[in-house]
Amino acid sequence: MHEATAPGARTIGLIAAAVLVTAFAQPARAHEGCAPVGVWSVPGSGRIAAAEILGRAAAAQVALLGESHDSADHHRWELQTVAALAAMHPKLVLGFEMFPRRVQAALDRWVAGELNEAEFLKAADWSQVWGYDAAFYLPLFHFARMNRIPMVALNVERSLVRAVGAKGLAGVPPEQR
């Protein structure tokens, strides 16, 4: 268990939850449903001041950030938001949905400063587990490393996702669940 998630420690888990936009097939319209630049909004409630939403997120146990995987602007926003939350909450933990649990050791070694970029991407099996341009994500990974913010792999193997999709959870052997 990470020190920042030890029993009794107040932490905020920030999950870089990826949002698949169905318009990816039409890149010119891929991000048209996004809020305008510089505007924060709460679904169903409308606009909200940045200080208020960041304060709410910093006070929560978990805050979810979503981005379009191929949008540099979204990734810059994500990094800016994480930096603001880290300044407000010293026990921040970053969870990443793109990494399966089996690569957790690579994330730990990266944050500890034991791997360079190429070694990290190889150890994390980046090209197989995610495949999107690592340049979009590296600034966030570097921020975590520079600030010793734990990174947590949240996902399961794609093979399990496919098996559950094909057979249902009951059709997957218990040891694989």
pLDDT band at 72 (very low <50, low <70, confident <90, very high): confident
Question: Has residue 103 got a pLDDT over 60?
Answer: yes
User: What is the reported pTM?
Assistant: 0.75
State mean pLDDT over 124-144: 94
What local confidence, expressed as pLDDT, does residue 127 receive? Answer: 93
Mean of all residue pLDDT scores within the chain: 81
Instruction: Report the CATH number that the domain containing residue 53 is assigned in CATH.
Output: 3.40.50
Tokens coding 13:
């888990």
pLDDT score for 33: 66
Domains in the chain, number: 1
Q: Give me the residues paired with residue 11 across strands.
A: none
Burial readout 85-115 (b: 16 or more C-beta within 10 A, e: otherwise): bbeebebbbbbbebbbeebeebbbebbeeeb
Alpha-carbon separation of residue 137 from 76, 83, 130, 146 (angstroms): 9, 14, 11, 14
The string of DSSP codes covering 61-109 is SEEEEEE-TT-HHHHHHHHHHHHHHHHH-TTEEEEEEEEEGGGHHHHHH
Q: Which tokens in the block code for residue 157?
A: 């193997």
The range of the structural domain enclosing residue 139 comes to 3-176
Q: What is the pLDDT of residue 90?
A: 86
Residue 38 has pLDDT above 90, yes or no: no
> Can you tell me the mean pLDDT for 77-87?
94
Average pLDDT over residues 1-23: 37
Is the pLDDT at 20 greater than 60, yes or no? no
More confident of the two residues 41 and 126: 126
End-to-end CA distance of the chain: 21
Average pLDDT for 54-81 = 89
| Of the ranges 5-14, 21-30, 38-47, 166-175, the best mean pLDDT one | 166-175
Average pLDDT over residues 112-133: 95
| Exposed/middle/buried for residue 156 (C-beta within 10 Å: 0-12, 13-18, 19+) | middle
Give residue 11's identity as a one-letter amino acid code.
T
Q: Is the pLDDT of residue 2 over 50?
A: no
At residue 32, does pLDDT exceed 80? Answer: no
Residues 6+ apart with CB under 8 A from 171: 163, 164
